[in-house]
Chain A
């Protein structure tokens, strides 16, 4: 096996770094998909009414019976003395666990208020883990807006999960990132067909299956926003596999090829497994691309999926890139995608939303990818938009979803071509 531990370090075009008003959710938002993915886990945010309101607003229409997340809302009395807050939290947790015996993993999720008043959730988690051992494992991570942006909540969660895993020296592949079940199943079929059998997917659906990581673990990220989880894997002695992210026919093939190479899969097996679905995906993308080819696209920073998606849209769908904004650019993760696009787009990191809106007006792109707060105001100004949040909720990875992914971007353009009705105002 070959260990290409560092991404190509030569790619270093200047990145426009911005610091101003951000218009992005905080990491708490990740809970909305994580709690669906991890079916025996409960996410308890220790925060304010704002945090509770953010969760429910971002969850939007998806109100479930009693979701597996909730907020322990801090009140005046909790702010007065620290000892109280810790005791209060113990009481809330005990109430919760006595009502929900199905919970095996409890995440204490830090927020801005809990961090500013320095509630020590890490120690709390340790204490509670001992108290509820072996029934419930209590883990802490931060989803606060002063520490994390949107998808970084999943990153922080995964980092905590990995830190908690025992050492395991067996040779295995670890895939990091929560994927919709249908996508994960497709991925597993492809890997199995290539002969890569020992696969650990993190986060795990349930805590029941034993898992560990160690120095014979080779890992690859399925999501580009897992910088901290990546670092934690490295600390645990695992070896990173670098590749473009598995979006589109080419992205998926290269991602699988990187794994194949590391695990010594021979070329003929690899081709036998991938040729069919690859050809199918390419055909499907070609159809959707008719709408996208030659159109320009602008990304506001949101999910950190921006760089890989821009790679897919320019490389495989023929779109023209203008600005590709991302909250953070981890070269270790997105380096392979970045080197394809960085010479034909402005790459920006961080945000100053007002200035970026000015640049948008100058670029006047055919399609703008942005958050929910900006979408309708931009539509009203005549920009076609795609809500970025849909990209983290929808199945978009691997071959069979490649055309759907392209379709998400094509739909707003198709619509604006279709609509012939004009507004009076």
Chain B
């Protein structure tokens, strides 16, 4: 069994594999990614830190590229700030 870490995504607790990216955790959770200024849904495109489409607030720090962050125990992610 791989190690699991517990995180909170948009208020809901989720368990994900240690070492997964935060973007992957958001995809597995029930939350969508952020919306654009005009209300369109956004989601990860490049997976390598270039397109900035996967941004979310992580541990209070806004506009983090979640495809470039690994999940850590106790992490708090908000997709809609």
Q: Do A and B come from one complex?
A: no
